[in-house]
């Protein structure tokens, strides 16, 4: 609030606010104060984006879920009024089915749902536990302090998704660097386009190899769809790219940001350190997903028919942005929403979105986070930040929120 009051505010009082808004620097885990004010005023308000367009910002939970579950709301980035996050990416094409509507979205998505079924993911739990334990062994044997993102948070989802897809992990430096560029909002469209094309080229090569010589992995299964005439090479590459990227930054940032949030809340961290109950750990993961906000720029859509909702009429051709971080702090749904409380029932959060586009990889993300949060603080009970909070650089400049680095010691 203080920042708003001291701002010179040259614009008229009824000016449309810009989105995204700056966060309160002392509260890096909380949504921007201006976003909370908007939520208190109305479920939907107009905002102005980087390109001058004025889509609707949907701040309340009920309206977010209703719109995300509405077939008149399009995820196709080519739909009139679609609110883009930054300048159009230079010729990198669509990121597969997340940028399409049904029925094509459903057709493509169903091709890759099998490995993310709950029981298939459970079968991977021992392997993920071994990965996590191995990385902690390496940490304890190495120097302290160290950057937790570099040695722990990023390698976990990277190793897991590489294993699942059948991408040789030895190549991880190459695509980690490129995906970093692809999700950095300050990268130029040319830089993002080049990074995207380089990774796509690499994946296209790998798909070609799996076409000739299939293995027991997801890329081989996708290559099989090319052979069956159900996917073009281009579509298969876009799908591989989506799976490779989507699993990386999100989970890595949840691990690092979650650890930082817990280190700032020692009472809550102690609950995790002292429990042996997998149900409690699973509940804690849901609360951390609710409380934190990796996809801080919101779920974006274009409306294809007039929709009356929240006291407004959204016209066909207008954009809507559902900011899940503020939806997850809606006091109508979650009591005392700004408090991190690992004992609450937070399962109805919208951290993974809602509707037919809800995150495909969520069972995998949940399991990875359960293993991490259930292991790291027990194995390193003296884990602590090695830099003051004000020196930690938060990723306001990326499509996925988190920390650039997290120095820790023990």
Partner 1 sequence: MKVELEADKCVASGQCVLAAMDVFDQDDDGIAILLDEQPAAEHLDGVREAVAICPAAAIRLVDQ
Q: Pick the stretch among 18-26, 36-44, 105-113, 318-326 that binds partner 1 (CB under 8 A).
A: 105-113
Closest distance to partner 1 from the beta carbon of 60 (Å)? 17
* CB-nearer residue toward partner 1: 194 or 344: 344
Q: What string marks each residue from 116 to 145 as x (binds partner 1 by CB under 8 A) or -? A: xxxxxx------------------------
Q: What is the rounded distance in angstroms from the CA atom of residue 112 to the CA atom of residue 238?
A: 12
Which two three-digit tokens encode residue 132? 């996590």
Residue 151's nearest CA partner among 169, 164, 132 is 132
The whole-angstrom separation of Cα 82 and Cα 319 is 5
Q: Is 69 in the site for partner 1 (CB under 8 A)?
A: yes
Whether the CB-CB separation of 128 and 218 falls below 8 Å is answered with no
Binding of residue 232 to partner 1 (CB under 8 A) = no
CA atoms within 13 A on the CB side of 87: 10
- What burial letters (b/e) apply to 5-29, b meaning 16+ CB within 10 Å? eeeeeeeeeeeebebbbebbeeebb
* Closest among 374, 160, 140 to 258, alpha carbons compared: 374
Interface pick for partner 1 out of 27, 40, 114, 127 (rule CB under 8 A): 114
Closest approach, Cβ 355 to partner 1, in A, equals: 6
Contact 238, 95 (CB under 8 A): yes
Task: Kindly tell me which of 136 and 342 has the beta carbon lying closer to partner 1.
Answer: 342
Q: Which CB sits closer to partner 1, 177 or 345?
A: 345
Q: Is 71 in the site for partner 1 (CB under 8 A)?
A: no
Q: How far apart are CA 371 and CA 122, in angstroms?
A: 11
Segment 266-285, which members bind partner 1 (CB under 8 A)?
Answer: none
Under the binding rule (CB under 8 A), the answer on residue 348 touching partner 1 is yes
Instruction: Candidates 99, 284, 360, 408: give the one binding partner 1 (CB under 8 A).
Output: 360
Under the binding rule (CB under 8 A), the answer on residue 374 touching partner 1 is: no
Judged by CB under 8 A, the residue of 53, 312, 362, 396 near partner 1 is 362
Size of the site for partner 1 (CB under 8 A): 26
């Amino acid at each position: 609030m203080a920042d708003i009051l001291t701002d010179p505010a040259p614009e008229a009082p009824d000016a449309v606010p810009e989105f995204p808004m700056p966060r309160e620097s002392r509260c890096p885990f909380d949504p921007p104060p201006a976003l909370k004010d908007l939520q208190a005023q109305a479920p939907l308000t107009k905002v102005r984006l980087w390109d001058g367009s004025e889509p609707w910002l949907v701040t309340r939970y009920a309206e977010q879920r209703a719109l995300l579950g509405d077939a008149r709301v399009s995820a196709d980035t080519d739909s009139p009024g679609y609110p883009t996050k930054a300048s159009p990416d230079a010729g990198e094409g669509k990121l597969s089915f997340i940028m399409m509507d049904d029925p094509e979205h459903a057709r493509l998505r169903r091709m890759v749902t099998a490995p993310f079924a709950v029981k298939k993911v459970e079968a991977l739990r021992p392997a993920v536990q071994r990965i996590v334990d191995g990385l902690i062994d390496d940490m304890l044997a190495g120097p302290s302090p160290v950057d937790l993102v570099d040695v722990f948070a990023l390698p976990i989802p990277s190793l897991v998704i590489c294993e699942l897809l059948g991408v040789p992990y030895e190549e991880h430096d190459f695509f980690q660097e490129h995906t970093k560029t692809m999700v950095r909002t300050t990268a130029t469209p040319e830089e993002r386009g080049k990074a995207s094309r380089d990774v796509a080229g690499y994946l296209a090569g790998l798909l070609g190899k799996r076409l000739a010589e299939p293995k027991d992995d997801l890329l081989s299964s996708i290559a099989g769809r090319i052979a069956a005439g159900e996917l073009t090479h281009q579509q298969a590459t876009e799908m591989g790219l989506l799976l490779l990227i989507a699993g990386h930054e999100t989970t890595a940032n949840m691990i690092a940001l979650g650890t930082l949030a817990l280190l700032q809340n020692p009472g809550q961290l102690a609950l995790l350190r002292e429990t042996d109950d997998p149900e409690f750990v699973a509940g804690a993961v849901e609360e951390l997903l609710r409380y934190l906000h990796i996809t801080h720029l919101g779920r974006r859509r274009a409306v294809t028919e007039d929709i009356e909702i929240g006291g407004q009429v959204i016209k066909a051709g207008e954009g809507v942005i559902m900011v899940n971080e503020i939806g997850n702090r809606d006091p109508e749904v979650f009591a005392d929403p700004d408090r991190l409380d690992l004992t609450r029932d937070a399962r109805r959060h919208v951290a993974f979105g809602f509707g037919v586009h809800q995150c495909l990889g969520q069972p995998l993300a949940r399991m990875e986070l359960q293993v991490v949060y259930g292991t790291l603080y027990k194995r390193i009970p003296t884990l602590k930040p090695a830099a003051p909070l004000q020196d930690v650089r938060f990723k306001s400049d990326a499509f996925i929120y988190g920390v650039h680095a997290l120095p820790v010691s023990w």
